[in-house]
Chains A and B, each alone.
Chain A
Amino acid sequence: MKAMVYRGPYKVRVEEKDIPSIEHPNDAIVRVTRAAICGSDLHLYHGMMPDTRVGMTFGHEFVGVVHEVGSSVERLKPGDRVMVPFNIFCGSCWFCARGLYSNCHNVNPNATAVGGIYGYSHTCGGYDGGQAEFVRVPFADVGPAPIPDWMDEEDAVLCTDALATGYFGAQLGDIAEGDTVVVFGAGPVGLFAAKSAWLMGAGRVIVVDQLDYRLEKARQFAQAETVNFTEHDDIVVAMKQTTDYLGADVVIDAVGAEADGSFLQHVSAAKLKLQGGSPVALNWAIDSVRKGGTVSVIGAYGPLFSAVKFGDAMNKGLTLRMNQCPVKRQWPRLFEHIRDGYLKPSDIVTHRIPLEHIAEGYHMFSAKLDGCIKTLVVPGT
């Protein structure tokens, strides 16, 4: 089969690999029909995630058709159309028994602090991902779900991470009716978080980014107010001014480890890999939220330390909430919202590329060329 393969920082190519085989009785092998490149794939691509090995296939956002199932699989059979959450989880450990599906203890030997994620380095369990023609899906009776008949395949692939994570970010904010919600980052997750904030009753939603084309999308797709931080000397002051000096009730960090805006932070984290991530957006969030407010973190950070302004968070009495999204818990409600027409996730897709062009796809997304917001990968074309 053909698969995307990592060759070192900033380098990927398509290689011929063996079709994955059943390694556990509850495994399934899925033939991928749509995959996506995610902003967090860029952390791997840039070599920021420890234990990212040459030869690994990335891709944690994919849907497809069941090709083969292991002997203990009861709920799926070959030929089923399935969507697969980016989390790999057993469903039965102490954490899964309490709904913490993104924090499973039975699927990642390499780290106890992280659950299992497809195609996301050995730090997340060493699983090959779905930017390939076939992928191994562990715990087939627990993770994947059939794609509802009425659902478009492209909407389904966005439910496997970006939409679920954005919606989860808004939930972590504990938004009350009328709250002012600021979202840092107008990538796919930020756009979905902004849209979800309205569903939870926000009175005002403000999206902050540096790219005008993405802010344009935030106005259209998420009906949000927008602020380009490069137009302001100090974005924290601008956030105070626009909230009558209160600060926002809830701030969502949908940027994560490669935040730009401070040369020192960006270069020390993204180029020199001396931090677990550049906390520029997180520090802006801490300083822009009101005292007693909530900061929700859904941007991804690596396991090394980051220079976070913890004193401000303590002195302001903030609630900091964060996690990798437990995707499958979000699905029943998200399916309702998609069906009711409140959410149309595939509206944010800007590019569709064949698997063969994946190297150009990564560069385009990484360098933010051609108005790129979300790129889908179509294997076998």
Chain B
Amino acid sequence: MTPIPKSDGDVSRHAAYLPGEPNRRVDREALRARIPGWGADVDPADRPSVPRLRYDPSASGAHWEFPERQPERWPRERSIEHAGLPPVFGTSTPPRGLSGVLRRHAYARYSEGRAAHWLLLIAADRIDAWESHLASFATLRPDNPITETGVLAEFDRHGLSSRIGQRRADRSHLWLDPIVVAGPWLLAGAGAVAAARALRRRRAR
């Protein structure tokens, strides 16, 4: 690690308080010897991002002024900041269920400039996850939090030694992860057990 020098308390000894040289001087030869390619792009005018915003529509390879339109196979939700539906779009996972209703509302009602737009979408994401978990229990492949979280990697990828003896900032909130991930499953499980018991008790009566 780079040693960090401490101040001697006298500001007049430090660069920030003095005019300095007009340009930084560097030992180019030493840098080139140590770092292969040092300075290959040193000329600011010869970098791929220069010039900025150069108008050159032919550079991209597009052979159309406006692309053909992809067929819209279901009503495609879109930002109201668009003039209409753009010609090309993704077709993954159309909206469905309650989360789909919320998503469509978030798009139809609020622009990207409104917090409500994004907060509704995030709420819909949480609902989507639970709708999907519940729906999966009616299939041959129910969600399995053990395999799907990949938590078994803790065993064959050195979960303990990757953390013990390391100063890692994430250790301060590591304890939150199992609660965030497993907590809702444990609560749902406990809820299901309680409901089943209540049902049995009612039947027994």
Contact = CB atoms under 8 A, between A and B. Distances in A.
A and B bind: yes
Interface of A: 7-13, 23-26, 47, 50-57, 72, 74-75, 88-92, 96-101, 105-113, 116, 122-123, 125-128, 138-139, 141-142, 168, 171-172, 174, 176-179, 196, 198-201, 203, 206, 210-212, 215, 223, 225-232, 238, 241-247, 260-261, 263, 266-267, 271, 273, 276, 290, 302-305, 329-330, 332-333, 337, 340-343, 358-364, 367-372
Contacts of B35: 198, 223
A363 B52 CA distance: 39
Most buried by A among B65, B118, B166: B118
B204 interface: no
B interface, how many residues as a size bin?
35 or more
Contacts of B169: 210, 229-230, 260-261
Contacts of A372: 157
B108 interface: no
A99 B59 contact: yes
B59 A241 contact: no
A168 B48 CA distance: 9
A360 B107 contact: no
Contacts, number: 331
Nearest to A368: B162
Interface in B40-58: 40-42, 44, 47-49, 52-57
Interface in B74-98: 76-79, 81-82, 85-93
B158 A176 contact: no
A267 to B, nearest CB: 6
Nearest to B78: A109
A263 B171 CA distance: 10
A157 B59 CA distance: 23
A245 B86 CA distance: 50
A206 B3 CA distance: 12
Given A9-B129, A201-B38, A329-B49, A126 B92 contact: yes
A231 B49 contact: no
Contact of A203 (B24, B124, B125): B24
Given A12-B150, A303-B118, A54 B129 contact: yes
Given A90-B67, A359-B149, A230 B167 contact: yes
Given A109-B85, A242-B2, A369 B61 contact: no
